[in-house]
Homo-oligomer: A and B are copies of this chain.
Amino acid sequence: MNSKESIKSEPRHYRLSEIARIISGEISGSDDSLITGVSDVEDAVEGDIVFAENDRFLRQAINSNASAIVAPLNTPDTDKAMIRVTSPRRAFISIIELFADTPRNPAGVHPSALISPTARIDIDVSIGPNVVIEDDVVIKSGSVIMANCFIGYGSTINEGCMFYPNVTVYHGIHIGKRVILHSGAVIGADGFGYMFIDDKHRKIPQIGGVTIGDDVEIGCNTTVDRAKTGMTVVGNGTKIDNLVQVGHNCKIGPNCIIVAQTGLAGSVQLGQGVILGGQTGLKDHIQIGDGAVVMAQAGVFGNIPPQSVVSGYPARPHRQRLRQEAAYENLPELLKRVKSLEKQISELQQRIENQQGEA
């Protein structure tokens, strides 16, 4: 691996004024201290710059050990050095990028990689050690395929992708531009389809494909199955966390967020901007509308309208679920009240009997 560029591990540091220039912000005061790191307010040490998007974070930042704060334009002066910017979020990402230690993988093919002669690999692609690339694969400019990845025959990987080690892409898969696949992700394995014939589960061949859009990120050990027929689709800009299961023939819209350990059964459809919390499960063939939010651990067994927020098992509108949960928490108490009512009624009935007997 001496083909890898040496990476300088010396800690980086920047003057506050340099950072202000890079993020187009204005420094409050004359402080121009040395910034040696960036962090969350809760972990901040001296030398760090932190990010205060709102008043709560600002108060925490002021009380932290941080040396400087990035804050919105209208923020009042504090004891700490401050850079005011139009968009603290955007500025924060730029600052983190300053300190980021991105792996620099050399262009070219590592001698241990095994590449089919019919594969077409652009000249500035980086192919790491022990990578296996089958026939007719296309990999476009600027993509990085790290060690031990496998790319099945006929798959296409567009510009600027980053595949971490040990990624598996089955045959005939289409991957967009700037897609990040983390280690252990498997794209295009067979969907889970059988027919029960003569007392056996007979496999339905899964002859469809997978299309991953541009700017998608897929976490470690996440699995996206190929379609039975047709396509499993992950839309542009969608981000999928670790250990997620995407069943065959799912159609996931653009800009969705799918948190870890969520499972989509076959043929689920997500609109755009859908958010699925961690460990949620979605029944096959259901549709989740644009902008809907499914809260963590929910079990979704039917269609969800756009912009709605659902939770629980089976998933229901979140406010309704909160009322139900509150009632549930009080169930043992409710039981006592009903018992008490039964006793009172019985006494009343007795009294009325007695009255009538007397009358």
Minimal beta-carbon separation of A110 from chain B (angstroms): 8
Contact with B along A232-272 (1 / 0, CB 8 A): 00000101011101010100000101011101010100000
B97 contacts A205, C-beta separation under 8 Å: yes
Q: For window 142-172 of chain A, which residues contact chain B by CB distance below 8 Å?
A: 146-148, 150, 152-154, 164-166, 168, 170-172
What B residues does A239 contact at CB under 8 A? 192, 194, 201, 203
Q: For window 252-300 of chain A, which residues contact chain B by CB distance below 8 Å?
A: 255, 257, 259-261, 263, 265, 267, 278-279, 281, 283, 296-297, 299
B349 contacts A207, C-beta separation under 8 Å: no
Copies of this chain present in the complex amount to: 3
A197 contacts B230, C-beta separation under 8 Å: no
A195 contacts B93, C-beta separation under 8 Å: yes
Contact with B along A216-243 (1 / 0, CB 8 A): 0101110101001110000001010111
B338 contacts A197, C-beta separation under 8 Å: no
B148 contacts A132, C-beta separation under 8 Å: yes
What B residues does A146 contact at CB under 8 A? 150
B355 contacts A1, C-beta separation under 8 Å: no
> Which of B114, B249, B263 touches A261 (beta carbons < 8 Å)?
B263
Minimal beta-carbon separation of A160 from chain B (angstroms): 13
> Which of B96, B112, B204, B260 touches A114 (beta carbons < 8 Å)?
B112
A72 at the B interface (CB under 8 A): no
What B residues does A96 contact at CB under 8 A? 204-205, 207, 228-229
What B residues does A136 contact at CB under 8 A? 7, 9
B223 contacts A223, C-beta separation under 8 Å: no
A349 to chain B: closest residue by CB: B348
A219 contacts B260, C-beta separation under 8 Å: no
Total residues of chain A contacting the partner, CB 8 A: 135
A103 at the B interface (CB under 8 A): yes
What B residues does A205 contact at CB under 8 A? 93, 96-97, 100, 102
What B residues does A301 contact at CB under 8 A? 296
A303 at the B interface (CB under 8 A): no
A202 to chain B: closest residue by CB: B93
B115 contacts A1, C-beta separation under 8 Å: yes
Name 8 interchain pairs, CB-CB below 8 A, sorted by A. A39-B230, A89-B195, A132-B147, A166-B166, A201-B255, A283-B296, A323-B331, A334-B335
> A interface vs B, CB < 8 Å?
1-2, 4, 6-7, 9, 37-40, 42-43, 87, 89-90, 92-93, 96-97, 99-103, 110, 112, 114-118, 128-130, 132-136, 146-148, 150, 152-154, 164-166, 168, 170-172, 180, 182-184, 186, 189-190, 192, 194-195, 197, 199-205, 207, 215, 217, 219-221, 223, 225, 228-230, 237, 239, 241-243, 245, 247, 249, 255, 257, 259-261, 263, 265, 267, 278-279, 281, 283, 296-297, 299, 301, 312-314, 316, 323-332, 334-335, 337-338, 341-342, 344-345, 348-349, 351-352, 355-356, 359
